[in-house]
Chain A
Amino acid sequence: MNFQLDNQKTRTLKHSTSSSSLLSRTRKLSSELKIYRPLKRSTSLSYRTNIPKTTTINTSNSTTIKTNIPKSNSFRELPTPTSPSSSYGKRLTRRFKSLRKISINTVSSSSTLSNISSPIFDPNINNETIISPPSSPSQSIPSPKISYNEDLIITDNEDEFDSSFSSISRDTSFNTSHSSISSCESSPIKSKAVFTDYTLRQLKVTTNSDDLLTLNTYSTITSFSTSSKIFEIPEILEIILRYVSINNNENNSIEPKMYRRPPLSYNHSLLMYGKNNGEKIWERTVSEGINYKETSGNKTLYNCLLVNKQWNYQINQILNENLIFNNDEKFEKFTSNKLHYKDNVNEIIEPISINLNKIKSPKSIYEIFENKLSSRRLEKIEYYICSNFLPSINLISNNLKKLVLPGCKILNDDNLKNLISKSPNLIHLDIRACDSITDSSIYFIANNCSKLELLNCGRHKRGELISDISIGLIAKNCPIKTIGLAGCGISDWSIWELALHCGSTLERLSINYCWKLTDVGICKVIKAKLIEKLSVLEIRGIQINNIEDLVNWRIRKLNEENFKVLIEACERIDLMINEFESKINYENNLKLMNDLTNWINNNENDNDINFRSFLNNHYIE
């Protein structure tokens, strides 16, 4: 077609896009070929290995061609053919024709990329090698990402090949990537003898895991009948898809995990992180504030929705287990959307967790949302700063373990008591910044939730509503591990109650801005070793002065148990802690230096021989 003589030294076959006779051939071939198996990367590696490899390929007439992969060295040592000989051309053509007849019996799962046929080599023809990747029929076959180097030459036209072999041009601009395979209607032929500088390294088949998955799903759509049976067994499919969904869930932590609370001021930052880091961290704190992480769901999971009905159903089941919404738009879309439930409009979703973050939709929309849900499996309800609605009593069941409603302005004692009365197995209750909750609710919780391990009722406003009466009862009745009492009107008595009743379980204690607390509380409790499991203590803005006990406790934990304790404090307390610590360090170092000086000046611990006795002995000899 468009073969031209360009250079006698480098002869290449130019890629031409169509040839009717060839097209029909390939069509036939492709129909025989059940599934396309793309080149694997390792095949390109195998060129470079020096071990000759034998590849067996079944032809349609059930004869077997045995081919050897020659040593790669021989490639480079090949003499460049100076001029094309006609016999060479004919041989090549014959070879080409025989390749046309090859049908590769590769019936296997579409998803497996592992068994991939290797190219054919024939070293028997005068150091000339013909390499042929398997044919790639164009229709209904996923195109693998195969990027050929420009030196890779693909010929289409065998009719013209015979006559015009001598007029082969080197086409440098031919650079096939994905399209090359899909548009190529025939088996590509490469001849090493034809282009000597071709290094096989340049043949790359890129298959990363994403491609694998898209390829996988795509091929399942197009040729589902040929796909592995395991994709038709719902139980196994579910396991596979759940595995895919693991990443999806990991990305969905809405509230960022904080290792430390942000510093309160520039000086405080310096105290907390030292001179070098303190400045940077303060700048970051000022510029960013607390940023909530945008959820970036795993796209692959959504791709899986498009595979087929069965996949769609399974994925929906998985997605519906954890309902997570970060903005009104998505929430309302979900609420109004009935597309997925065409078959069964009344289908009820049975989520395990519901997670709403700053949803400001009106109550009416929320009610529609809730009507779709069943409480049968519901274990976690987390509504962050959703002021317009509350979880209704219908969602609450014995299964509920986690109830998180921070910043819910409409939550009051009556509502909360209603919810709590139906959830006796609650473990995790977070009612931060719910200002209208009073002692009465907490008292009720203490009496109803005997398994409660985490309670957070920290607040900025109206701290006087929560006092010793309720917290004392919580300490008595619940196996508290974490308690947040920031800004509550509790006194030292509550701290003692907590220490005495929950001392063996308490791990995290926050008593920031509890204005009634004094040294008699937390400091003495810690000195008395009543809460030995405590690892995080937050004491911002409380009126304590005797921090020696806290510092000694921290040092003791580190030295004796190698257990790092975090004390989060405000600037005033941090300053005191720092001063005391440097005082301790100074004394410690002084002592250390004394010890060392004594040791180095002590001759008894010395194995050295006195040189005088050595010299005496020496001269006597």
Chain B
Amino acid sequence: MDEQDHSSHRNKNNITLKVGLIGDAQVGKTSLMVKYVENCFDEVYTQTLGVNFMERTINIKNTEITFSIWDLGGESEFTNMLPLVATDAVAILFMFDLSRKSTLNSIKDWYRQTRGFNRTAIPFLVGTKYDVFIELPIEEQDQITKQAKKYASAMNAPLIFSSTSASINIQKIFKIVISKAFDLRLKIPEITNTGEPILLYQDI
């Protein structure tokens, strides 16, 4: 028994998780990726031409978890590169701008297209620019929140409101990715109230 423990101690695990970021132009896909990988945020908008790719490795004891994050340019001309991002992805983050309702509406289309290439990936619905969102009138916030919840339950996806510039719920997105990918119990409290950065991942 002692011996087995000894050997498994030395076991090194390398796990790579591919995560795709998909959504309309200017919702903040690249920003989120850069924020998560390099922990920095740049106000200047740079259009993604085609596909961006970054990796972040997390060491947890003997395990190396590598997130390889693929970010698809939001313009319609890059839709032909969708398979590159979607295939073999463990999780796909469908992202929309909380301050622009139209970006939420086009999630339906993104979801449908992406499902065509990858039926097994865990979908996530991620609202961005929460810091802008709270400036909106309460009624509008309420309307967007309700609609987002509706979409999330239809997609059977966790719903997360995040802010890259204010560092809200960025790390949590990827923790939820791990918990969903390995079916682990997560005890982070959910946030459900309108006006707060929604964090819903259980019983969706």
Judged by a CB distance under 8 angstroms, whether A283 is at the interface is no
Decide: B7 and A608 in contact? CB cutoff 8 A. no
For A587-613 the 0/1 string (1 means CB < 8 A from B) is 110011101110111010111110100
In the complex, chain B residues 61-83 whose Cβ is within 8 Å of any chain A Cβ: 61-63, 65
Q: A555-B10, A601-B188 are in contact. Are A596 and B4 (CB under 8 A)?
A: no
Judged by a CB distance under 8 angstroms, whether B187 is at the interface is yes
Decide: B186 and A592 in contact? CB cutoff 8 A. no
Decide: B186 and A600 in contact? CB cutoff 8 A. yes
Decide: B197 and A601 in contact? CB cutoff 8 A. no
Judged by a CB distance under 8 angstroms, whether A328 is at the interface is no
Decide: A600 and B178 in contact? CB cutoff 8 A. yes
* Residues of A close to B185: CB separation below 8 A: 597, 601
In chain A, what residue has the closest Cβ to B169?
A608
CA distance in complex: A614, B168 (Å): 9
Judged by a CB distance under 8 angstroms, whether B45 is at the interface is no
* Residues of B close to A615: CB separation below 8 A: 134, 195-196
* Residues of A close to B171: CB separation below 8 A: 605-608
A553 CB to closest chain B CB (Å) equals 9
Judged by a CB distance under 8 angstroms, whether A63 is at the interface is no
For A554-593 the 0/1 string (1 means CB < 8 A from B) is 0110011000000000000000000000011001100111
Q: A559-B12, A592-B63, A596-B60 are in contact. Are A587 and B186 (CB under 8 A)?
A: no
CA distance in complex: A543, B182 (Å): 40
Judged by a CB distance under 8 angstroms, whether B166 is at the interface is yes
Decide: A611 and B175 in contact? CB cutoff 8 A. no
B81 CB to closest chain A CB (Å) equals 30
* Residues of B close to A592: CB separation below 8 A: 13, 62-63
CA distance in complex: A618, B135 (Å): 9
B172 CB to closest chain A CB (Å) equals 6
**Contact of B63 (CB < 8 Å), options: A552, A596, A606:** A596
Judged by a CB distance under 8 angstroms, whether B11 is at the interface is yes
CA distance in complex: A592, B8 (Å): 10
CA distance in complex: A603, B178 (Å): 15
**Contact of B8 (CB < 8 Å), options: A591, A600, A614:** A591
CA distance in complex: A595, B60 (Å): 7
**Contact of A611 (CB < 8 Å), options: B6, B7, B58, B196:** B196
* Residues of A close to B187: CB separation below 8 A: 601
Judged by a CB distance under 8 angstroms, whether A548 is at the interface is yes
**Contact of B170 (CB < 8 Å), options: A601, A605, A607:** A607
CA distance in complex: A402, B53 (Å): 54
Decide: B167 and A600 in contact? CB cutoff 8 A. no
Q: Kindly name the residue among A556, A609, A618 whose own CB sees the greatest number of chain B CB atoms within 10 A.
A: A609
Judged by a CB distance under 8 angstroms, whether B179 is at the interface is yes
Decide: A606 and B196 in contact? CB cutoff 8 A. no
**Contact of B172 (CB < 8 Å), options: A560, A599, A608:** A608
The number of chain B residues with a CB under 8 A from chain A is 38
For B9-48 the 0/1 string (1 means CB < 8 A from A) is 0111100000000000000000000000001000000000
Decide: A552 and B7 in contact? CB cutoff 8 A. yes
CA distance in complex: A559, B168 (Å): 38
Q: A593-B182, A600-B184 are in contact. Are A555 and B60 (CB under 8 A)?
A: no
Decide: B10 and A614 in contact? CB cutoff 8 A. no
Judged by a CB distance under 8 angstroms, whether B191 is at the interface is yes
B128 CB to closest chain A CB (Å) equals 14
Interface size on A, as a range, is 20 to 34
Decide: A607 and B8 in contact? CB cutoff 8 A. no
Q: A548-B3, A593-B184, A596-B178 are in contact. Are A559 and B10 (CB under 8 A)?
A: yes
In chain A, what residue has the closest Cβ to B196?
A611
A148 CB to closest chain B CB (Å) equals 43
Decide: A552 and B3 in contact? CB cutoff 8 A. yes
Q: A606-B172, A611-B197 are in contact. Are A588 and B11 (CB under 8 A)?
A: yes
CA distance in complex: A600, B8 (Å): 22
CA distance in complex: A60, B57 (Å): 76
Decide: A556 and B168 in contact? CB cutoff 8 A. no
CA distance in complex: A552, B10 (Å): 10
In chain A, what residue has the closest Cβ to B65?
A596
In chain B, what residue has the closest Cβ to A527?
B3
In the complex, chain B residues 155-195 whose Cβ is within 8 Å of any chain A Cβ: 166-172, 175, 178-179, 182, 184-188, 191, 195
Decide: A596 and B182 in contact? CB cutoff 8 A. yes
Decide: B4 and A595 in contact? CB cutoff 8 A. no
Decide: B186 and A607 in contact? CB cutoff 8 A. no
* Residues of A close to B60: CB separation below 8 A: 595-596, 599
* Residues of A close to B182: CB separation below 8 A: 593, 596
B135 CB to closest chain A CB (Å) equals 9
B4 CB to closest chain A CB (Å) equals 7
Decide: A608 and B8 in contact? CB cutoff 8 A. no
**Contact of A588 (CB < 8 Å), options: B3, B8, B39:** B8
CA distance in complex: A363, B88 (Å): 65
CA distance in complex: A559, B10 (Å): 7
* Residues of B close to A593: CB separation below 8 A: 182, 184
* Residues of A close to B196: CB separation below 8 A: 611, 615
Decide: A595 and B61 in contact? CB cutoff 8 A. yes
B18 CB to closest chain A CB (Å) equals 17
CA distance in complex: A37, B160 (Å): 75
A84 CB to closest chain B CB (Å) equals 53
In chain B, what residue has the closest Cβ to A553?
B7
* Residues of B close to A609: CB separation below 8 A: 166-168
* Residues of A close to B184: CB separation below 8 A: 593, 596-597, 600
A388 CB to closest chain B CB (Å) equals 54
A606 CB to closest chain B CB (Å) equals 5
CA distance in complex: A615, B197 (Å): 10
CA distance in complex: A592, B178 (Å): 12
CA distance in complex: A605, B178 (Å): 15
CA distance in complex: A9, B154 (Å): 70
CA distance in complex: A212, B167 (Å): 68
CA distance in complex: A593, B8 (Å): 14
B136 CB to closest chain A CB (Å) equals 13
Decide: B8 and A587 in contact? CB cutoff 8 A. yes
* Residues of B close to A583: CB separation below 8 A: 4
In chain B, what residue has the closest Cβ to A580?
B4
For A102-140 the 0/1 string (1 means CB < 8 A from B) is 000000000000000000000000000000000000000
Q: Kindly name the residue among A548, A591, A608 whose own CB sees the greatest number of chain B CB atoms within 10 A.
A: A608
Decide: A584 and B197 in contact? CB cutoff 8 A. no
* Residues of A close to B170: CB separation below 8 A: 607-608
* Residues of B close to A597: CB separation below 8 A: 179, 184-186
- Which residues of B approach A to under 8 Å, CB–CB? 3-4, 6-8, 10-13, 39, 58, 60-63, 65, 131, 134, 166-172, 175, 178-179, 182, 184-188, 191, 195-197
Question: Told that A560-B10, A587-B4 touch, could you supply 11 new A-B pairs with CB distance under 8 A?
Answer: A559-B11, A588-B11, A596-B65, A597-B186, A599-B58, A600-B175, A600-B188, A601-B185, A608-B168, A614-B131, A614-B168
A–B Cβ pairs within 8 angstroms, 16 of them = A548-B4, A555-B11, A560-B10, A583-B4, A587-B4, A588-B8, A595-B60, A596-B184, A600-B179, A606-B171, A606-B172, A607-B167, A608-B172, A611-B197, A615-B134, A618-B134
Q: Top 6 A-B pairs ranked by shortest CB distance?
A: A600-B175, A552-B7, A597-B184, A588-B8, A611-B197, A609-B167
